[in-house]
Structure 1
């Protein structure tokens, strides 16, 4: 090696050795990768009148949420429809850190004397005056690219719950691949949608489907964000790949606008 080249390489190498520790020391030390994958239980209460709604709301606010919090579950979301057709349905979102936690929660509630006391009117509602018409439940597993719940800032906002149904399991998996591996989730985050969760329904109706929740300050912000998404160059690039055509992967999309209750923890 010529002396001039050797000296230049030595200087560069020495500088790199000095810079790398400085960069490492400057990086935040409190950032760590998630150690688990969340599971989400979405419960939808169908109600026929204000009496049932009040009974369910009193149950959730005064009995269910406190008991779930005591059992170690946090960030319980409760929402009403922004534009209901008749009596609003009520949506609850419960986050679990494992399937084992899902398995044990019912037993913990049964053993919680305070919960049984506070929930008595709801749990023991007579057949002549039921607390609700029906409950529809789904259990979802978080996407690998967004494995844990993201709780938004507590302020006035609206939520959009979107579900994509697919005609086959293969098509459903391909759509999830589009979100995880082709950068679709990153587009949502970059454009400021502030997603709360992304989940594949593993138990529940209308399978195969995926469901996700995003937030906006108001309806004007919702329209502006979706306009930006449709016009985004990266989205256009992904969506024009023949294998990822929505016509092949999605046969129904539902969108529900939700408002958090005063006691919702999301």
Structure 2
């Protein structure tokens, strides 16, 4: 299979419409249809069911969509990392670390200081990401290593080292009836009609349905909570730096969150290895 064919297929599978997919790709619809038909004949399977109502993925098509995304990410990552390696050989070597903005701040600061003290340490460029963005930027080569948080982030396909496990707390506006409680249960937090949980964007940029406000970053979230428009359940370290007007209450039955450092299993970067060693030592 060619990467061009995979890109064509992913566009149709995501749009479920040949016309929109052709427009997205910047090509005419007939050659797109021919390319998908050729791909199906070569594989000997039906990838897309076509009828008067539209297009639907078959079981085989759903598998290829998942695999094609991974393959295209790998090709893009190879291109980026190759260019970065060439730049490092001629200029300032650096390793790019992806981290979620507003999370693991204390751990990140300690890690950067510990690695900087290592013999042969190179510069670390920190790429601050929105919720759920660290794994995709690590997969597609925009980052060399990342701090991820299980169970929220997808660590599949990465090598990882567990760094820290913590409980979760509810962030509430001061003065709310639940803010003086010693602890809470998840059902008490998730069922608040006056303080709905926020809706974070999916990887494709869309938002899930629900009554909660759309939120894109930590600063926006804390402002909405302080205004009495939302609440949130976050790792225990979310207590750090809470400004006046916000209260953190432990949530007893919320799943524990484990911060891990993750890197591609095929990485041969000595800088990545040194960063992982420094993180494990912490």
Settle same-fold status: TM greater than 0.5. Answer: no
Length-normalised TM-score, structure 1: 0.24
- Structure whose alpha-carbon radius of gyration is higher: 1
TM-score normalised over the length of structure 2: 0.23
